[in-house]
Amino acid sequence: MRARLALIGALALAGCGGEIPDEAAPTEGAALIPATQPMGPGLYAVGDGTTVYARTRLSADGTYTDMTEAGETVGGGSWSSREDVICFDPEGDGEDQQERCWRNEAPDEDGSFRSLQVDGEGEYRVMPLEE
């Protein structure tokens, strides 16, 4: 569970620092991806469309906090975004704490959107939440 939350945290869950990795460059077929990032400071539910795995708060200072549904902090780190790529760098240097970048699709009518890990390793459904 902690590894899954660390992965989710890497989603929202920064610091791509400098250049966007080559694998994060826009590709053909990326027409569904908006010109600007649908994520910014705020609270998000992260899951698979039917189950919420965690809630992630993105702060304006470039940090994020991952929480359980009950509000218990389970992780965090820093985040940054550029156009259609958002990157998360969890605190620490453990195996599940490497920076990961995600490409988010355009939001659906309900505001939720699909987030795909740039290297193709993961996919989540993200829903902005009212605070």
- Is 27 within a domain? no
The mean pLDDT of 111-131, rounded to a whole number, is: 92
What total number of domains does the chain contain? Answer: 1
- Is 84 within a domain? yes
Q: Which residues of 43-56 are buried (b: 16+ CB within 10 A; e: fewer)?
A: bbbbbeeeebbbbb
Selected residue with higher pLDDT from 59 and 27:
59
CA dihedral 119, 85, 101, 90 (to 10 degrees): -170
80, pLDDT greater than 80: yes
- Is 56 within a domain? yes
- How large a percentage of the chain has pLDDT more than 90? 53
Question: What is the structure's pLDDT at 32?
Answer: 47
Q: Could you tell me the CATH number of the domain that includes residue 111?
A: 2.40.128.490
Question: What is the structure's pLDDT at 118?
Answer: 93
129 exposed, middle or buried (CB, 10 Å; 0-12, 13-18, 19+)? middle
